[in-house]
Amino acid sequence: MGGGAAGIGAAGAAKQASPDARVQVFTEFEDVGYSPCGIPYVHGREIESFSGLILQGKEFYEKAGIDVRYETTVESLDVGAGEVVLAGGERVGYDALIVATGFTYADPGVPGSQLDGLHYVKNIRRAMEWDPILDQAKKAVVVEASPLGLEMTTALAHRGLETHLVDAHPWALSEVADPDIAAPVQASWAEMGVQMHFNTRLEAFLGSTTVTGVRTSEGEIEADVVVVCTHKTPNNALARAASIEIGSTGGIVVDERMATSRAGVFAAGDCIEVPQGSTMLPLQGLSGSHAYSQGKVAGTNAAGGQRAYDPVFVPWGMVAGKWMIGGVSFGETTAGALGIPFHMGVAEGISRARYYPGLHKVRVKLLAEPGSLRLLGAQMVGGEGIKERADFLAMAAKKGITLRDLATMENVYSPPIGALNEPIALAAQNGLARLARGPGS
Amino acid sequence: MSFSEWLRTNSQHYLLEASEREMAKRYLGTAPPLPGGGVGPLFWRRVFVPAYRVVPWAWRRSMMQLMPGSHRRHWSYRPLREGRGTPEP
Ligand SMILES: Cc1cc2nc3c(=O)[nH]c(=O)nc-3n(C[C@H](O)[C@H](O)[C@H](O)COP(=O)(O)OP(=O)(O)OC[C@H]3O[C@@H](n4cnc5c(N)ncnc54)[C@H](O)[C@@H]3O)c2cc1C
């Protein structure tokens, strides 16, 4: 159930584990197997057209023996009978069900949420219909500085629109990123003409039938287009109604096999929650790559195979404004919120040899467990190489690598791609030096 | 919404707000969050957040792990034991 990263990953893995299995995928949408992650970049004109985002055509799934039922809504689950009930009443039996219903954007909870013209970036067809509107539009409002909000703000400014970003928190992406990580991004938005409205609550969408702007705690902003980028919430109404256990995050409870509380029912992707690896506290609404891997685990096990998923350390990264930002598990803000004790090492290094054109500053912050100095989390901002550093540091955290290990790590030095001193090693060395200087340093 | 969802949603919101306030003090030029009014927020800000913070992290983590969720199901992976580079037995 679901044709996103998790559903398609599950269908492919089920077919691989059991080539004779009959695999059906139900999706409300007109398409499967496209990359929603690329949509903001087409709106921003960094990518020329939507066609490149389609990974596989419909024939591919037919040839692979996967029966995709497009524009088919599952209305309820009859887990007792082993059936899903489709809109219109058709009942379809199953031996194993995989719930991969993904996410919905949180309801902004203000008047006007039903107005025409409010854009929720998800379905590629709706994005294709909406994109030409941007050619005429002059002024845009993006609601919430979520990861998608950051991408859409950057995209619309790049497209030449006067772009306003409205967010109730004091800085961009504050639920994930620290203020010193967000600061260069915000400065670069200012250079691009973005008008930022932080610490500003959305109060209403304005307009009679079509949205014409927003009312905020700081006043009204007129706009030709409004994009809603509220945080992702698990789309679990059907699972709840079928008495499948839901956790404190609102995500479906699963084990390492992606099995739910009901026999024969598996779940994967943004509709589930999984534990974070160092705290074992559940998290929900991760990334497309998590959804795809979880789908593969669910699909394999649903088809009789054996595959386990590990708790997560959540490497993340993205382009925002003129910068790349990223991290692993916790930053100072989130560790501080949870009250996790940490010792920190910070450094500013460079991405290439100091004489090589196009080098960027790279700021790295490493959070380590006091005592053992095992890596707990990281935050980074720079111009290149952030993704690779985040992937590496997530594995380092998973394997119990310490600041001491990182301080003496080996690194590639090649003028166009790496400086003599790796910023991660510098941050770890600074963390150790701070520790040697004693408390309060 | 179950009790555990309600508790997590609210505690997460107010703990983050308190942390944002501290970050604003630590990083010059960062604005603190604007507090919304009302009686509900008062409880979370004045009672819950300070009470949460006096409890040591290890206890807090144990209490949070008592909540229902995926972490209570089977995971072969063992987190590293606090203070050591080896998995918990
Ligand atoms: C604009 C955008 C940008 C993104 N950028 C990134 C990125 O840069 N990096 C990254 O890692 N991830 C990115 N993502 C991925 C995203 O954040 C999610 O993690 C990912 O989409 C989750 O996949 P999923 O399969 O769990 O759910 P979804 O993608 O939400 O898919 C849910 C599926 O379930 C179907 N469905 C739901 N209910 C029913 C029903 N009742 N009946 C039938 N079908 C149903 C829907 O039709 C859909 O096919 C982006 C997503 C979007 C939309």
A147-161, A184-198, A252-266, B36-50: which range is least confident on average?
Answer: B36-50
Beta pairing, strands A162-166 & A139-143: parallel
- Residue-wise pLDDT tens digits, B33-61: 987 766 678 899 999 999 999 999 989 99
Task: Give Cα A116 to chain centroid, integer Å.
Answer: 26
**A315 in contact with ligand 1, CB cutoff 6 A:** no
| Residues sharing a CB contact under 8 Å with residue A28, sequence separation 6 or more, in sequence order | A71, A72, A73
Residue in A150, A235, A293, A296 to alter for ligand 1 test, most ligand atoms within 8 A of Cβ: A235
- Could you tell me the pTM of the whole model? 0.94
The tokens describing A327, both together, are 């991290």
Residue-level pLDDT at A441: 62
In three state form, how does the secondary structure of chain B look? CCHHHHHHHHHHHHHHHHHHHHHHHHCCCCCCCCCCCCHHHHHHHHHHHHHHHHCCHHHHHHHHHCCCCHHHCCCCCCCECCCCCCECC
Locate tokens 């386990």: which residue?
A: A308
Strand A83-86: give its sheet, edge to edge.
A74-78, A83-86, A91-93
Of A246, A256, A402, nearest to B74 by CB-CB distance is: A256
SS3 A378: strand
Cβ-contact A334, B19 below 8 angstroms: yes
Counting residues of chain A whose pLDDT is more than 70, the rounded percentage is 100
| Residues sharing a CB contact under 8 Å with residue A410, sequence separation 6 or more, in sequence order | none
**A101 in contact with ligand 1, CB cutoff 6 A:** yes
Residue-level pLDDT at B83: 52
- Residue-wise pLDDT tens digits, B10-40: 999 999 999 999 999 999 999 999 877 666 7
Name the helix (H) or strand (E) containing A298: helix A288-302
Residue-level pLDDT at A276: 96
**A98 in contact with ligand 1, CB cutoff 6 A:** no
Kindly list the residues from chain A whose CB atom is less than 8 angstroms away from the CB atom of residue B86. Answer: 400
Cβ-contact A79, A262 below 8 angstroms: yes
> Residues A361-392, buried b or exposed e (16+ Cβ, 10 A)?
ebbbbbbbbeebbbbbbbbbbbbebbbebbeb
Residue A100 has pLDDT above 70, yes or no: yes
- Residue-wise pLDDT tens digits, A280-319: 999 999 999 999 999 999 999 999 999 999 999 999 999 9
Nearest CA among A342, A344, A363 for reference residue A429: A344
Residue to mutate among A280, A344, A399, with most B CBs inside 10 A, is A280
Cβ contact, residue pair A255, B68, below 8 Å: no
Residue-level pLDDT at A58: 86
Rounded Cα gap, residues B45 and A374, in angstroms: 32
Of B4, B73, B82, nearest to A369 by CB-CB distance is: B82
What's the mean pLDDT in A60-82?
95
Cβ-contact A323, A382 below 8 angstroms: yes
Locate tokens 């992406």: which residue?
A: A173
**A6 in contact with ligand 1, CB cutoff 6 A:** yes
- Residue-wise pLDDT tens digits, A362-402: 999 999 999 999 999 999 999 999 999 999 999 999 999 99
pLDDT band for position A97 (50/70/90)? very high
Nearest CA among A367, A433, A434 for reference residue A401: A367
Residue A350 has pLDDT above 80, yes or no: yes
What's the mean pLDDT in A189-217?
96
Cβ contact, residue pair B69, A249, below 8 Å: yes
- Residue-wise pLDDT tens digits, A8-36: 999 999 999 999 999 999 999 998 988 89
| Mean pLDDT over the full length of chain A | 95
Rounded Cα gap, residues A21 and A297, in angstroms: 16
Of A254, A279, A337, nearest to B73 by CB-CB distance is: A254
Residue A114 has pLDDT above 60, yes or no: yes
Residue-level pLDDT at A55: 82
ipTM of the complex: 0.91
SS3 A220: strand
Q: Does B49 touch chain A (CB under 8 A)?
A: no
Residue-level pLDDT at B88: 52
